[in-house]
Amino acid sequence: MKKFLLFIFFVVFIVSACGSRSDEINYVFEMLSEEGNVTRFENIEDLFDLFNVAPSGSRDWEDDSILFAEQGPVSILTGLPINEDYINRRPLAVIVNNIHVALPQSGITSADIIYEVLSEGDITRLIAIYQSYIPEKIGPVRSARDYFVDFAFNHDAIFIHHGASESGYSRIRGSQITVLDGMALEGSVFWRDRTYPAWAGISGQRPMEHSSYTGWTRIYTHLYSRNLRREINDNPDFGFNFGTQPNEPAGFAERVTIPFSPGYPRTFIFDSTSGLYYVEHRGGQLLDAVTQEQVTVTNILIQLTTVQNIAGDAAGRRTVRTTGEGVGYLITGGTYRPVTWASEGTNSPTRWYFEDGSPMVLTPGRTWICVLQSNATPSFE
């Protein structure tokens, strides 16, 4: 049988405590092949036939979701079935450029987790975490900041960037994290591509600083040749807990806006048919340059924290607190819930909890984490 890296199932439900609104329950199933092709199933029987699994008439739909998980290993990053060859694969944390002229980006529809945070001025940058499927083209790859390293440590990931700020390099040296830096590896692990995809209708070339790319084959060729650690350490805190939401939501969240800055808000639009949030950039679809597909996620996490300008920094770089404790929100299934987060140190993974102190539970699927300044107010509609 043809191998598949993962298949995704979504259960959409609205809790009556949110109000009088009600929606019909819908199920949509997606499967991603090793070649990166997505197959969608609207009919559960078709999926059972493919995997030679017979649904039990005594189970409800939530029990059937457990049945899927029993078919093989499950990713600690997505809660979804994963190719057994990749279950212990060490994740990659790739710094992806997010300035307007760098779009469309390549490989972002394949990321298991994406962090977004202010980088300099009012511009955000993405830290894309890959394990389930690693594309052959990811980028444009951009320079690192010191707090980006902490997001990689959250998942025991290899840190991949092209250059860094002074504090970024200091943090990298002090942390001893495994690093692939385009400043040293351009021409082998990294290459330049200044062209925009023809479908995007953008004239001219990408600026040189927005043209660095990397990908699966080049990365792993380098890791094998240098005998660098390629398996994730055994620590469940490098991933998340997954299942159905155990508590009632605080309200509806069918349209979520994250005000990173006036020029870089992030908007998520919920689709009740698929249970996915469609990601937007400046009022338009956030599309992948290679697949031409809009980025979607199942979960959104908002991590509220202290973000400050570095005094005297002409580029407007920031400091971002990633340790200690804080509050935030979990958005999934068209609703939101308050949560808290805690980290014992910059090399320790962040742990998430519901307000009652119980471990946070995500819906199986991809997650977008917005690391947002605490004086900003996200909106839920």
Domain assignment present for 38: yes
For every residue of 203-268, DSSP letters joined together read -S---GGG-EEB-HHHHHHHHHHTT---B--S-GGGS-EESS--S--SEE-SEEEEES-SS-EEEE
For residue 135, what pLDDT is reported?
A: 97
Under 8 Å between Cβ of 112 and 74: no
Q: Are residues 136 and 8 in the same domain?
A: no
The total domain count for the chain is 3
DSSP three-state, residue 198: helix
Q: Are residues 183 and 65 in the same domain?
A: no
Given a cut of 60, whether residue 159 has pLDDT beyond it is yes
CA–CA separation, 190 vs 180, rounded Å?
9
Given a cut of 90, whether residue 245 has pLDDT beyond it is yes
Among 179, 198, 225, the domain boundary falls at 225
Which whole number is the average pLDDT over 316-332?
97
Query: What band does 206 get if pLDDT is binned at 50, 70 and 90?
Result: very high
State the average pLDDT for the chain: 86
Q: Are residues 190 and 100 in the same domain?
A: yes
Domain assignment present for 186: yes
Q: How many CB atoms lie within 10 A of CB 204?
A: 9
Domain assignment present for 187: yes
In DSSP terms, 269 is beta-bridged to 255, 278
Q: How many CB atoms lie within 10 A of CB 51?
A: 14
CA–CA separation, 142 vs 246, rounded Å?
39
**Closest alpha carbon to 232 in 125, 73, 95, 20:** 73
Q: Measured in whole angstroms, how far is the alpha carbon of residue 64 from the centre of its chain?
A: 26
Q: Are residues 204 and 254 in the same domain?
A: no
Show the beta-strand stretches assigned E in 238-366. 241-242, 251-252, 255-259, 265-271, 276-281, 284-285, 296-297, 299-305, 307-309, 318-320, 324-332, 335-343, 351-354, 361-362
Which whole number is the average pLDDT over 129-134?
97
Structure confidence by residue, pLDDT tens digits, 269-299: 999 999 999 999 988 999 999 999 999 999 9
Which whole number is the average pLDDT over 27-48?
48
Which whole number is the average pLDDT over 218-239?
96
Q: Are residues 294 and 210 in the same domain?
A: no
For residue 19, what pLDDT is reported?
A: 41
Structure confidence by residue, pLDDT tens digits, 8-24: 333 333 333 444 343 43
**Closest alpha carbon to 139 in 188, 91, 98:** 98
Give residue 139's region: left, alpha or beta (phi > 0; psi -120 to 50).
Answer: left
CA–CA separation, 306 vs 322, rounded Å?
8
- Containing 191, the helix (H) or strand (E) segment is strand 191-192
Which whole number is the average pLDDT over 361-376?
97
Which whole number is the average pLDDT over 84-95?
96
Query: What band does 72 get if pLDDT is binned at 50, 70 and 90?
Result: confident
For residue 37, what pLDDT is reported?
A: 53
Report the CATH number that the domain containing residue 339 is assigned in CATH: 3.50.90.10
Domain assignment present for 234: no
Among 225, 251, 277, the domain boundary falls at 225
| Domain range for 183 | 92-225
Count of alpha carbons within 13 angstroms of residue 378, beta-carbon side: 29
Q: Are residues 246 and 212 in the same domain?
A: no
More confident residue, 178 or 8: 178
Which whole number is the average pLDDT over 120-134?
96
Which tokens belong to 204? 């001219």
**Closest alpha carbon to 344 in 74, 101, 154, 67:** 154
Phi then psi dihedrals of residue 251, to 5 deg: 175, -175
For residue 284, what pLDDT is reported?
A: 94
Domain assignment present for 87: no
Please name the amino acid found at residue 274: S
Q: Are residues 97 and 217 in the same domain?
A: yes
Domain assignment present for 75: no
Q: Are residues 110 and 59 in the same domain?
A: no
Given a cut of 70, whether residue 61 has pLDDT beyond it is no
CA–CA separation, 162 vs 148, rounded Å?
13
More confident residue, 211 or 313: 211
